[in-house]
Chains A and B, each alone.
Chain A
């Protein structure tokens, strides 16, 4: 398996504050990586650097072999990104918005309708397509944000808390959707809901105060901590993030 995402020695400093320190990991093609950590651990910062929104202080990030800093255009073509706050224009309708995003992502006019149909169906927003985004509930806004990331069918998806603001039913649907992405897509998924990670991801990366405290398969982590298979991810998480 080739690595789709390769991060080496990634560090981000804001003046005197270190947001991310010396982060090294790689994600093979088709894998879903769970990205965990308490609030302020540097998850969103890392994701912003991976997508080329923020520059790193040092270290390199490669997506599909392209360096984010040297070749941002090639990297951006291959990434679908849902930021922490869904980037929505409240004055636009869902359809107008998705059309706009599809066109800047290079979806051809002939395929526009099919592509909109596909992502709207996958994220279950077909019924609100002609409503203004400002009138949507939080759950719908979040799903429109996910729909936007799926447009153009990019090989890499970076989703910052995609299930935030969804009710339990919608969350289950979102989980199914994300699970279905495995194989064809390489996904980095951050969330606070640990049970979700256990279901959707094979491996997890746990960040605490900008440092990587664990990067392994969930099962192996449980063993490494000297506990049995019954250990929940929650226990692992609490143990690893409390130490520092």
Chain B
């Protein structure tokens, strides 16, 4: 465990001494601010419509704009989940590919470190930086709670917001796990990023892609799709099924990465 932590510390150190982490932070904040401002504008518009005509006469899909939590934060979490899918491959791509290209993999593999310690250390380092990226987005609900107001007490329903945010962290950790496994397969960082993306995106869209499929395939695709599993979590529902689903994907990625690293000894 000591070795795994040493490796995680090294990974974090390298992330923060290269421009990558900062580029990803900026991209995450920039893109999500854009959506945040848009959501705010829509929210205000719907609210003023509601004041004029009353909620009963507005279309039912506007109902979520009744409060800031459902109208903005939950929507924003969904958007950030999609942004995460795009930025995670850039954070995970270097984990193993760079070590192989740099020939430092030889150092790790000939040091008295067990393969699972390498995998765990790398994973923890990667999760650290993606959580830091996602952590930045907590400023949006904080801004809302400082400046927003609501008829019923606090501006935001913090339990919903926090659960949704934890769901987001779990989602980030999942993307990174898949990305780390892909990174262990290649020496090229660009290839690792591209392949990770090529795995994550169709997996995310699996529900839509399988719409026209026959049963039971459609239900299976529905269950396996990232988007269906995420939809309950971002709404702040403590859905045990989704938690187990994401935890399994992470565990499976770690096991596969371990096998890949271990295979070096046999190749």
Q: Are B107 and A148 in contact (CB under 8 A)?
A: yes
Q: How far is the CA of A24 from the CA of B260 in the complex (A)?
A: 31
Question: Which chain B residues (111-127) contact chain A, with CB distance < 8 Å?
Answer: 111-114
A52 close to chain B: CB less than 8 A: yes
Name which residue of chain A comes closest to B15, CB basis. A91
Residues of B with C-beta under 8 A to A87: 102-107
Q: Are B112 and A77 in contact (CB under 8 A)?
A: yes
Assess A79 versus B110: contact at CB under 8 Å? Given A103-B2, A104-B7: yes
Residues of A with C-beta under 8 A to B7: 104
B266 close to chain A: CB less than 8 A: yes
Of the four ranges (under 10, 10 to 19, 20 to 34, 35 or more), the interface on chain B belongs to 20 to 34
Q: How far is the CA of A100 from the CA of B125 in the complex (A)?
A: 14
Besides the known contacts A87-B104, A104-B6, A148-B107, 17 further A-B residue pairs in the complex with CB atoms under 8 A apart: A53-B106, A55-B267, A73-B112, A76-B110, A76-B113, A81-B106, A83-B107, A83-B110, A87-B106, A88-B102, A88-B104, A90-B102, A103-B2, A103-B6, A104-B3, A104-B108, A106-B112
Residues of B with C-beta under 8 A to A105: 111-112
Assess A81 versus B6: contact at CB under 8 Å? Given A91-B14, A96-B13: no
Name which residue of chain B comes closest to A87, CB basis. B107
Residue with the greatest number of chain A CB neighbours at <10 A, chosen from B2, B9, B111, B267: B111
Name which residue of chain A comes closest to B7, CB basis. A104
Interface of B is mostly: helix
Residues of B with C-beta under 8 A to A96: 13
Q: How far is the CA of A129 from the CA of B53 in the complex (A)?
A: 71
Question: Which chain B residues (1-54) contact chain A, with CB distance < 8 Å?
Answer: 2-3, 6-7, 9-10, 13-14, 17-18
Q: How far is the CA of A103 from the CA of B113 in the complex (A)?
A: 10
Name which residue of chain A comes closest to B2, CB basis. A103
Name which residue of chain B comes closest to A69, CB basis. B265
| Cβ contacts A to B, 6 pairs, < 8 Å | A52-B109, A55-B265, A83-B110, A87-B106, A89-B14, A92-B17
Name which residue of chain A comes closest to B10, CB basis. A100
Q: How far is the CB of B258 from chain A (nearest CB, A)?
A: 15
Q: Are A55 and B111 in contact (CB under 8 A)?
A: no
Assess A91 versus B111: contact at CB under 8 Å? Given A55-B266, A103-B6: no
Name which residue of chain A comes closest to B14, CB basis. A91
Total number of A residues with any Cβ neighbor in B under 8 Å:
29
Q: Report A's interface with B, CB cutoff 8 A.
A: 48, 51-55, 69, 72-73, 76-77, 79, 81, 83, 85, 87-92, 96, 100-101, 103-106, 148
Q: Are A52 and B111 in contact (CB under 8 A)?
A: no
Q: How far is the CB of B164 from chain A (nearest CB, A)?
A: 35
Name which residue of chain B comes closest to A83, CB basis. B106
Q: How far is the CB of A59 from chain B (nearest CB, A)?
A: 15
Q: How far is the CA of A201 from the CA of B81 in the complex (A)?
A: 61
Name which residue of chain A comes closest to B3, CB basis. A104
Q: How far is the CB of B253 from chain A (nearest CB, A)?
A: 23
Residues of B with C-beta under 8 A to A72: 265
Closest 10 CB pairs of A and B: A87-B107, A103-B6, A77-B112, A87-B104, A85-B103, A76-B112, A51-B110, A91-B17, A83-B106, A104-B111
Assess A101 versus B104: contact at CB under 8 Å? Given A89-B14, A91-B14, A92-B17: no
Name which residue of chain B comes closest to A145, CB basis. B107
Q: Are B111 and A101 in contact (CB under 8 A)?
A: yes
Q: Are B265 and A89 in contact (CB under 8 A)?
A: no
Residues of B with C-beta under 8 A to A79: 110
Q: Are A89 and B111 in contact (CB under 8 A)?
A: no
Q: Are A92 and B112 in contact (CB under 8 A)?
A: no
Residues of B with C-beta under 8 A to A91: 13-14, 17-18
Question: Which chain B residues (234-267) contact chain A, with CB distance < 8 Å?
Answer: 264-267
Residues of A with C-beta under 8 A to B107: 81, 83, 87, 101, 148
Residues of B with C-beta under 8 A to A92: 10, 13-14, 17
Residues of B with C-beta under 8 A to A101: 107, 111
Residues of A with C-beta under 8 A to B6: 100, 103-104
Name which residue of chain B comes closest to A102, CB basis. B6
Residues of A with C-beta under 8 A to B266: 55
Name which residue of chain B comes closest to A84, CB basis. B103
Q: How far is the CA of A51 from the CA of B267 in the complex (A)?
A: 15
Q: How far is the CA of A10 from the CA of B109 in the complex (A)?
A: 20
Q: How far is the CA of A62 from the CA of B48 in the complex (A)?
A: 80
Q: How far is the CA of A76 from the CA of B105 in the complex (A)?
A: 14
Residues of B with C-beta under 8 A to A55: 265-267
Residues of A with C-beta under 8 A to B103: 83, 85, 87
Q: How far is the CA of A105 from the CA of B265 in the complex (A)?
A: 19
Residues of B with C-beta under 8 A to A81: 106-107, 110
Q: How far is the CA of A83 from the CA of B106 in the complex (A)?
A: 8
